Structure 1
């Protein structure tokens, strides 16, 4: 974020959307937006795999980028633009067995953390610095709709969640990569899975993002900027998979992000900073047994504006117990 007189490409945090999920959140944000669920959720996103109960989940994501973009998608003017982040998320999700109308209530809690991060700006760290630590807590009450059934099993699954990002994580206004964002955010979503056939599904999740005020903005904005507020955004995950065996599913997965309002600096809109990115790649889902599932998703980003553009690899384990 910046005032009209601040450096055009000053960075607040660069590990854009490295985390997020139901399921998600992440370690840092790039440029203005906070951590988002970009690709953390994918196949069968409309419902937990086994109905009511507790679902412990562990995420591990590796993100690398060698290109930081401006408002036209051009590279920024740094000698080097290398960012590397290893991020983790521990999640506990609960689906109540008690029905309420056409579905059940539940609660989703996620704690992200950033065990390793590094940057290379070609300037000895003068422009890009990285921090590690615990990230912002995500809490979301949700409503899981009962499945719409067909002759051969479920046809459609859906869930809505009112997710809140709480600014509990480590934050350094002098760093480009931060575990926390130092601002509250509201990031509700609706997710659904359509069974085209019993062995072929299509899933999607649509988020809206509203961000609160950061009262400790990045030092790159200068001493005259006392507060910043990232713009509102829309983002979505989508995936499709087919069963190749009883235990293995293969498919494709992607995500999309578009900031829809300008970032504010000292309450004044700053044009030319709206973020955008697309990601697309392959994925797999392996059922280890009836209560344990392993997801792998790879994403290759393109079309970035005012964000890093790189590669993202996510490994997710989902368990279940009553």
Structure 2
């Protein structure tokens, strides 16, 4: 039986969201699944565009007072292995590593909608990706670094109650616009070269003065890749965390994220195309990441959060290590 590991490399994209002075909202990045067989690379099923994998965890559902906020993210990815449709590690030394910075500008307004505050956001990603392989040769990467701009609109509900505990939550719609660098001469590009729509709900429940629980659940739809008949499937991604205060302003956390693709990738509208043409009977991606983290609340309402994720349970994509730093700086008081 032929062993495949997809070699369609979309690029680096991100999801965004709104947050406020005390919390930092979404975005994520992921690197592509690459597959090799018989020592050759073949373009096959498209990979999912990157999404929010552990970029924001602590106090994810909380927003501060209306105003403007800058958020910066730095996320690295180092491949540990590449996994096929059965979750088996491929016999390849191919490594795809990335370093991504994201610059997010947020406005939480005083305008009311559905009982909450309207919020708006825009994110500009900058991504550097490298690929290496001694035995099979590495796919070429576009040297340009500009990723696709993402815009979002949200409704934030603050200072609510759930089970008698303080509860804040938000619903947001994000749109990724294919404005980044793309050249089909390269296998890896900063732009995913498609439109992607994501809607999520995030919440934070303050159990007591020391303990809080946060989660985000997001659903995503992708259009066809521009000038192509290939279309990545719809998928879910979620972030989860439990944190505990150990010193004034300092929290430790247990954090995780999960990605699961619902339906098969399509080609010209056909979901069985990759099974028929390449023998990939299941093109759906999956990965689970988990790890420890710390968060520190800066004087003036800022926030720093540092985490290190280890990935497991991967299918049709690489798995590895994902160190992540986020910094939120309020621009208005």
TM-score in terms of structure 1 length: 0.87
Range 22-31 or range 132-141, more displaced = 22-31
1:187-226 paired onto structure 2 within 5 Å:
187-216=198-227, 226=228
Q: Is the Cα–Cα contact under 8 Å of residues 14 and 30 in structure 1 kept in the other structure?
A: yes
1:100-111 paired onto structure 2 within 5 Å:
100-111=113-124
Report what 2:22 is aligned to.
Answer: none
Report what 2:70 is aligned to.
Answer: 56
- Aligned pairs, number: 302
Range 170-179 or range 256-265, more displaced = 170-179
For residues 253-285 of structure 1, the C-alpha deviation after alignment (integer angstroms, 9 at most, x for no partner) is 110000001101122113411000000001111
- Give the SS at the match of 1:24: coil
| CA distance 1:173–1:294, shift in 2 (3 Å) | same
Report deviation, 1:8.
4.0
| CA distance 1:211–1:100, shift in 2 (3 Å) | closer
Residue 90 of structure 1 pairs with residue 103 of structure 2: yes
| CA distance 1:176–1:263, shift in 2 (3 Å) | same
Residue 74 of structure 1 pairs with residue 88 of structure 2: yes
- Give the SS at the match of 1:104: strand
Report deviation, 1:241.
0.5
Q: Is the Cα–Cα contact under 8 Å of residues 102 and 146 in structure 1 kept in the other structure?
A: no
Report what 2:21 is aligned to.
Answer: none
1:1-322 paired onto structure 2 within 5 Å:
8-13=4-9, 19-22=14-17, 23-26=25-28, 29-31=31-33, 32-48=47-63, 50-78=64-92, 80-114=93-127, 116-123=128-135, 125=137, 127-131=138-142, 132-149=144-161, 155-216=166-227, 226-269=228-271, 270=274, 271-322=281-332
Q: Distance in 2 between matches of 1:281 and 1:255?
A: 9
Range 6-15 or range 299-308, more displaced = 6-15
Q: Distance in 2 between matches of 1:206 and 1:175?
A: 33
Q: Distance in 2 between matches of 1:112 and 1:195?
A: 32
Q: Distance in 1 between matches of 2:94 and 2:323?
A: 19
Report deviation, 1:215.
3.1
Q: Is the Cα–Cα contact under 8 Å of residues 6 and 316 in structure 2 kept in the other structure?
A: no
| CA distance 1:320–1:142, shift in 2 (3 Å) | same
Q: Is the Cα–Cα contact under 8 Å of residues 149 and 155 in structure 1 kept in the other structure?
A: yes
Report deviation, 1:85.
0.8
Report deviation, 1:306.
0.3
Q: Is the Cα–Cα contact under 8 Å of residues 24 and 110 in structure 1 kept in the other structure?
A: no
Report deviation, 1:13.
2.1
Q: Distance in 2 between matches of 1:107 and 1:8?
A: 42
For residues 218-248 of structure 1, the C-alpha deviation after alignment (integer angstroms, 9 at most, x for no partner) is xxxxxxxx41000011110001101111110
Q: Distance in 1 between matches of 2:256 and 2:211?
A: 17
Unaligned segments of structure 1, at least 5 residues:
1-5, 217-225
Report deviation, 1:173.
3.3
Report deviation, 1:26.
4.7
TM-score in terms of structure 2 length: 0.84
Q: Is the Cα–Cα contact under 8 Å of residues 54 and 95 in structure 1 kept in the other structure?
A: yes
- CA RMSD, 1 decimal: 2.4
